[in-house]
Amino acid sequence: MKAFAALFAALDGTSSTAAKTAALAEYFRTAPEADRVWTIALLSGRRPRRAASSTELRLWAAEAAGVADWLFEESYAVVGDLAETIALILPPPATAAPPPALSLAMSGLIALTGQPAEARRAAILSAWATLPSTERFLYTKLLTGGFRMGVSQGLMTRALAQATGRPEAEIAHALMGDWEPARTSFAALVERAAEGPDSRPYPFALASALEGGPDGLGAPSDWCAEWKWDGIRGQLVARPGAFALWSRGEELITDRFPEFAPLADFLPAGTVIDGEVLAWDTTTGQPQPFAALQRRIGRKTVPKVLLHEAPARLLAYDLLEAGGQDLRALPLATRRARLEALLAGLPADLPLATSPLLAFSDWAALTAARVTARDHRAEGLMLKRAGSAYVGGRKRGDWWKWKLDPFSVDAVMVYAQAGHGRRANLYTDFTFAVRDGDALVPFAKAYSGLSDAEFAEITAWVQRHTLERFGPVRRVPPELVFEIAFEGIQESPRHKSGIALRFPRMVRWRRDKPAVEIDTIETLRALLAAAGGRLPPAPPEDI
Amino acid sequence: MMAADLLTLTPQGLYCPDGDFHIDPWRPVSRALVTHGHSDHARPGMAAYLTTPQALPVIRHRLGAITAQTLPYDQPLSINGVTVSFHPAGHVPGSAQIRVEHRGEVWVVSGDYKTEPDGLAEPFAPVTCHTFITECTFGLPVFRWRPQMETVAEIARWWAANAAAGKTSLLAAYSFGKAQRLLAALPPLGPILTHGAVEEVNQILRAQGYALPQTTRVTPDITGKTHPGALVLAPPSALATPWARRFEPAEEAMASGWMAVRGIRRRRGLGTGFALSDHADWDGLLAAVRATGAGRVRATHGYTEPFARALRDLGLQADTLQTEFLGDDATGDGA
């Protein structure tokens, strides 16, 4: 882990992208080969199953440090990162043999999963006792799950391209899909693009947010517009001997959506479609709210009743491969025409259709259409340049998402909790309430949307106005009013307020507004009725 | 049982009713005993100040014309029948703990302190007492300092690597205490430039006889080019200002106990941080508490509630003493 720890230190010590790329490229040239593969896996979000739960890790660390559980929790609240709390709270490591290679440490962790708690505890305690401090932190970070070290997939791809002399796009494609670090060599991994067809998806093209309207985009005739759906982005890959549905997070979700299986028989071999997976309302011919789809995401096998209640449908918006040929360099208009021709030849009862293009002659007409997005169960518009190639990653200029303005209500802060990671020591996680008669009903938590200066000011206020402490949470007088924006609203029996919000965040601190003037639970119920959200959300999983 | 506490809290600060004096008060009082010159301890507006002779010059520099008397370390003085004395706290040059004795009852106010000698400040000396009022800025078990020697060596390697890469090393450190402690400990690897706030304290301490290496005050004509390979010592507030830009290309870092936590360092936008503190770490606090032999401990300045609870878990009588100032919390610079 020595090389990996040095890489981490180099990445952690700079915010310069060029310096990070250089450090990574150097690592990919010089580190032990198996470690390189593991590093690529970790930086692209491929992590092994957790060998211990966070509860177990807290208990074992507190015990090894001789620190009471409550004191461990107090410390965690200040440090803000479980792995770092553990690394700091344990006694200094005994100097021992040099740390094991990253690949060895990782295979050790993989071997631990499924072992009895006592065996896992012994192995982890022994690692904690012997690893030097940085390695101890990294090892624990790997134990607790995802760890990207501030490196985006794009940055890693660039570094790999530098280290290997291969084009970036080729590397990006090679890293897509399903591969296991423990069974893949570095050479095979970066050269996979040269191999024959498989079920791998193409790197997804991503859209940037369009701020302030489309007037700056030039001639409307250069653009295609579609609804922006609130589903799961997916690539459907049908190649000889392979049929796969990939999520944008490069997770294979084929088995979660068995209704797509018949497509394997109808799509010509060598077809790759980019589109949106939605839960479909067959009576209205519209998507169901995201909450319905969420019920499907959360499970690996789908009970019949769910297949009936929330059937999935793929609305296709792009054709990336046809007849085994990569179409990505062709203009969107051409790809779109071929997509429409392809789907027109398929039986109508398949769960696959094109995502319709919106006809518009000028931006005013499109602006007017956007306002009706919620009627179409969409969250806004997508604008794609008709002449553009399909480029993986977020390339500004060709793909724009123009979302509806969010819902918003004014609410009062009732609880505050210190943030984690970069924001430990600042009170940044707030619980908000609206009025229900004379009472206040907590209905949402939010932790983003304010400036660092505002968080600092609120932190000082919370420290002076704490009414009660529950561990790291402080109850404060209901005085500070915020405008809370959110993307969706659903009924939820699990919440006291009976509702659950999607992506709530603070948009403004309403210093001008006294707490008596905040919105009421009736306001929220009216929004709920208007949004047609009825289904209870299931806890989301990895997608 | 004792009749009443020897020291109590008033709106002005910590007060001794029998001796009619305050310790580190935050609002004007008639007589203030001051542990050291940091601005959250030595406040303006007191009718009379009492401090150590080593601490007074910096206090005078910061507060201007004040009426002050000094009391050397370890010498008793009777104030209205209450015996007070100052004892080294090891925090910054001249810093003191204050011992208060009346009718056989002994209280010690720690002020800010650290237990590891830093080579410049008078080393911390434990004082036996019945009640110990202790700071606990870093009163959680995640705060454990490495020996100063190791951290200073790490800073020296950083400085040398920057110099080799043709970059200036811009090191943020509190201008009274931390900066001078670094000056005294760092090897002479190149020119050392100082921000005015640091240099003014340097001059005062040099005049008192503290051994500090030669430094150059940054003037408008000085840049990274005029002093290649230089280390610049500046208060944290000078980072990322036009003043600091003259040293580009430069690497920035900060020396503070808070740098032990990655999230705090990153929140300050710093790539590099050195965990070097003028406050005691967790082990230092526990050792100091034990060394006093005190049966009762009152925690102030810092993680007071968890620290007091941890002491109670150890069988001590402990509670918190809420002061008006939060002291060196994670958003401050002085730790």
Domain count, chain A: 3
Q: Does residue A62 fall inside a structural domain? A: yes
Question: Are the CB atoms for B56 and B73 separated by under 8 Å?
Answer: no
Last residue of a domain, one of A403, A434, A454: A403
CATH code, A374: 3.30.470.30
Residues in A closer than 8 angstroms to B331, CB to CB, are 425-426, 456, 459
Q: In terms of CA atoms, which chain A residue is nearest residue B264?
A: A422
Contact of A19 with chain B, judged by CB distance below 8 Å, is answered with no
Same domain, residue pair A524 and A399: no
Do residues A379 and A446 share a domain?
no
| Residue B20 DSSP symbol | T
Nearest chain A residue to B310 by CA: give it: A71
CA distance B249 to chain A (A): 13
In this prediction, residue B118 carries a pLDDT of 96
Residues A305 and A435 in one domain: no
Domain enclosing residue A51, as ranges = 2-144
Asked if A341 and A372 sit in the same domain, the reply is yes
| Residue B270 φ/ψ, nearest 5 degrees | -105, 135
Query: Which residues in chain B are closer than 8 Å to A78, comparing Cβ atoms?
Result: 140, 142, 261, 303, 330
Q: Are A336 and A224 in contact (CB under 8 A)?
A: yes
Do A221 and A368 lie in a common domain? yes
> Does A536 fall in a domain?
no
- CA distance to partner chain B, nearest, from residue A421 (Å): 5
- Per CB-CB distance under 8 Å, the chain A contacts of B264 are 424-425
8 Å CB contact between A418 and A427: yes
Task: Encode A104-123: b = buried (16+ Cβ within 10 Å), e = exposed.
Answer: ebbbebeebeeeeeeebbeb
In this predicted structure, what is the pLDDT of residue B310? 97
Q: Is A13 on the interface with B (CB under 8 A)?
A: yes
- Does A214 map to a domain? yes
A79 touching B (Cβ < 8 Å): yes
A81 inside 8 A of chain B by CB = yes
Is A195 a member of any domain? no
Q: Do B267 and A85 touch (CB under 8 A)?
A: no
- Count of pairs with CB atoms under 8 A, one residue in A, one in B: 75
DSSP-assigned letters across all residues of B92-124:
STT-EEEEEEETTEEEEE--S--SS--SSSPPP
**The model's pTM:** 0.74
Say yes or no: A232 and A281 in one domain: yes
Same domain, A221 and A370: yes
Note whether residue A179 is domain-resident: no
The verdict on A24 and A51 lying in the same domain is: yes
* pLDDT value of position A537: 38
Q: Is A421 on the interface with B (CB under 8 A)?
A: yes
Those of residues 448-467 in A touching chain B at CB distance below 8 A are 452, 456, 459, 463
How high is the pLDDT of residue B323?
66
Residue finishing a domain among A359, A383, A403? A403
pLDDT band at residue B334, thresholds of 50, 70 and 90? very low
The stretch B112-128 carries a mean pLDDT of 97
Helix (H), strand (E) at residue A482: strand A481-486
Query: Can you give the pLDDT at residue A503?
Result: 86
How much helix, strand and coil, in percent to the nearest 5, is found in chain A? 40, 25, 35
Residues A448 and A509 in one domain: yes
Whichever domain contains A107, its CATH number is 1.10.3260.10
CATH number at residue A507: 2.40.50.140
A79 three-state secondary structure: helix
A256 and A344 share a domain?
A: yes
Domain boundary among A403, A438, A469: A403
Q: Verify that A325 and A439 share a domain, yes or no.
A: no
What is the amino acid identity at position A94? Answer: A
Residue A489 φ then ψ, to 5°:
-140, 135
Residue A155 resides in a domain:
no
Does residue A320 share a domain with residue A242?
yes
State percent of chain B over pLDDT 70: 95
Alpha helices in chain B (DSSP H): 56-63, 148-164, 178-185, 196-208, 242-245, 262-267, 282-292, 304-313
SS3 string, B150-169, reads HHHHHHHHHHHHHHHCCCEE
Query: What's the confidence (pLDDT) of residue A193?
Result: 54
pLDDT given at position B186: 97
CB of B329 less than 8 A from some CB of A? yes
Cα gap B74→A61, rounded to integer Å: 43
Spell out, as residue ranges, where chain A has pLDDT lower than 70: 95-96, 146, 192-197, 420-424, 531-543
Q: Would the CB atoms of B261 and A71 count as touching at under 8 Å?
A: no
Residue closest to A36 by CA, chosen among A110, A99, A103:
A103
- On the question of pLDDT at B324 being above 70, the answer is no
Q: What is the pLDDT of residues B87-109, one digit of tens each?
A: 999 999 999 999 999 999 999 99
Mean pLDDT value across residues B28-40: 96
Determine, yes or no, domain membership for A293: yes
- A194 inside domain: no
- Among A67, A79, A422, whose Cβ lies nearest the Cβ of B267? A422
B310 reaches A (C-beta below 8 A): yes
